[in-house]
Amino acid sequence: MKIDAAVLDVRNGPLVVQQLDLQDPRADEVLVHLKATGVCHSDISVIKGDLPLPTPIVLGHEGAGVVQSVGSAVTTVKPGDHVVLTFASCGSCGQCLSGHPVYCDSSAAMNLSGTRVDGSSAWSRDGEPVFGHFVGQSSFGTHVVVHHSAAIPVDPTLPLEHLAPLGCGVQTGAGTVFNTLHPPYGSTIAVTGAGSVGLSAVMAASVLGCRQIIAVDVSESRLRLAQEVGATDVVHATGGDLTERLRQLTDGRGVNYIVDTTGLQHVVAEAFAALSVRGTLSVVGVSPAGTRIDLDPWSFLAGRTVQGNMEGDVVPSIFIPFLIDLYRQGRFPFDKLITVCHGIESLADVVKGQDSSIVKAVVTLG
Ligand SMILES: [Zn+2]
Ligand SMILES: [Zn+2]
């Protein structure tokens, strides 16, 4: 079928909306008519070349839409279902079977190769292949063909332009807290970087009853938003003294749990130095390849841990409906992070992302 999609033809180039051909879904795939897509930092990383993928390519990996048709082997969704799209996984390897599909043996091949596992692409232009299948999706278009594992059925009464970011940024921040840190009630937590990942971590910490939730950012407007969604304290990071300020806020003891969403070398090092005894730092911000971080090995003797994860280490078919339940109960107000931009033509401007007041841009796709 003919579709419209925003294509990146060359690294650092603009996204240009073009007509492409999209294959019918294979037996294990789903064709989705997209209604909205979030824009995530990883899309920008591919455009800049920090995350190298082949071009021309269709990016986008926070899609939401309506199932149009399904392959003969698909049983999880049917035409007409509303779906949030997320990363793809095989469902049968050891990581998938033990509840960690983001670490699937086929993860790189299914999500970051630009093709299906067999090297083919569902997209083409004038008979020449165009790369896609980005993070199991390529949602910068009117339609997409995805592996069935990437299509999560959701409540059809909720607006798809609000649900779109659940499949990457929101589940990453929330999953880091719910699945990998699981702070006990009464503990203290800090989040460096109050973007969509960081603020999702703040909301999750609030749900779990953390006593003190400290948001750190350079933007006043993001810190105000952090307080709206559950932060008890904010630190306007002006550089250099982050460790000291976090220790002051926690009566000199340091912070029990810290989520770093910045990936900035000095922020990670300063956050680590602000951990309490037996504290844990989770690094989910992506640093440029080759980055090294200085940590004092004596700190580990006090029981401190450094960890990281991708996509919040979630099982999307369980976790996304869980977040939606919390949202409906008013306990996880992720819609406050979203600014809706209208029309696929606005994607090119949105990815340039000059407006720092936008935490999470979602583009409607018609
Ligand atoms: Zn992402
Ligand atoms: Zn697998």
Q: How far apart are the CA of 283 and the centre of ligand 1, in A?
A: 15
Q: Which of 121-130, 199-208, 243-252, 287-296 has the lowest mean pLDDT?
A: 287-296
Find the ligand nearest to 108 CA: 2
pLDDT digits (tens, 9 = 90+) for 67-76: 999 999 999 9
3-state secondary structure the chain: CEEEEEEECCCCCCEEEEEEEECCCCCCEEEEEEEEEECCHHHHHHHHCCCCCCCCEECCCCEEEEEEEECCCCCCCCCCCEEEECCCCCCCCHHHHCCCHHHCCCHHHHHCCCCCCCCCCCEEECCEEEECCHHHCCCCECEEEEEHHHEEECCCCCCHHHHHHHHCHHHHHHHHHHHHHCCCCCCEEEEECCCHHHHHHHHHHHHCCCCEEEEEECCHHHHHHHHHCCCCEEEECCCCCHHHHHHHHCCCCCEEEEEECCCCHHHHHHHHHCEEEEEEEEECCCCCCCCCCCCCHHHHHHCCEEEECCHHHCCHHHHHHHHHHHHHCCCCCHHHHEEEEECHHHHHHHHHCCCCCCCEEEEECC
Using CA atoms, how far apart are residues 97 and 166, in angstroms rounded to an integer? 23
Q: Give the pLDDT confidence score for residue 290 in this predicted structure.
A: 83
Find the ligand nearest to 117 CA: 2
Is the overall model pTM greater than 0.85, yes or no? yes
Residue 25: phi, psi to the nearest 5? Answer: -65, 140
Whether 354 shows a pLDDT value over 70: the answer reads no
pLDDT digits (tens, 9 = 90+) for 276-299: 999 999 999 888 778 899 888 899
The sign of the dihedral angle between the CA atoms of 221, 351, 31, 53 is negative
Find the ligand nearest to 100 CA: 2
Whether 147 shows a pLDDT value over 70: the answer reads yes
Q: How far apart are the CA of 272 and the centre of ligand 2, in A?
A: 32
Share of the chain above pLDDT 70, in %: 99
- The full set of domains in the chain, from first to last, is 2-167+333-364 (3.90.180.10), 173-309 (3.40.50.720)
Q: Which residues surround ligand 1, an ion (CB under 5 A)?
A: 40, 42, 168
Q: How far apart are the CA of 163 and the centre of ligand 1, in A?
A: 14
Q: How far apart are the CA of 45 and the centre of ligand 1, in A?
A: 10
Whether residue 99 contacts residue 110, with contact meaning beta carbons closer than 8 Å, is answered with: no
Q: How far apart are the CA of 100 and the centre of ligand 2, in A?
A: 8
Q: Give the pLDDT confidence score for residue 286 in this predicted structure.
A: 84
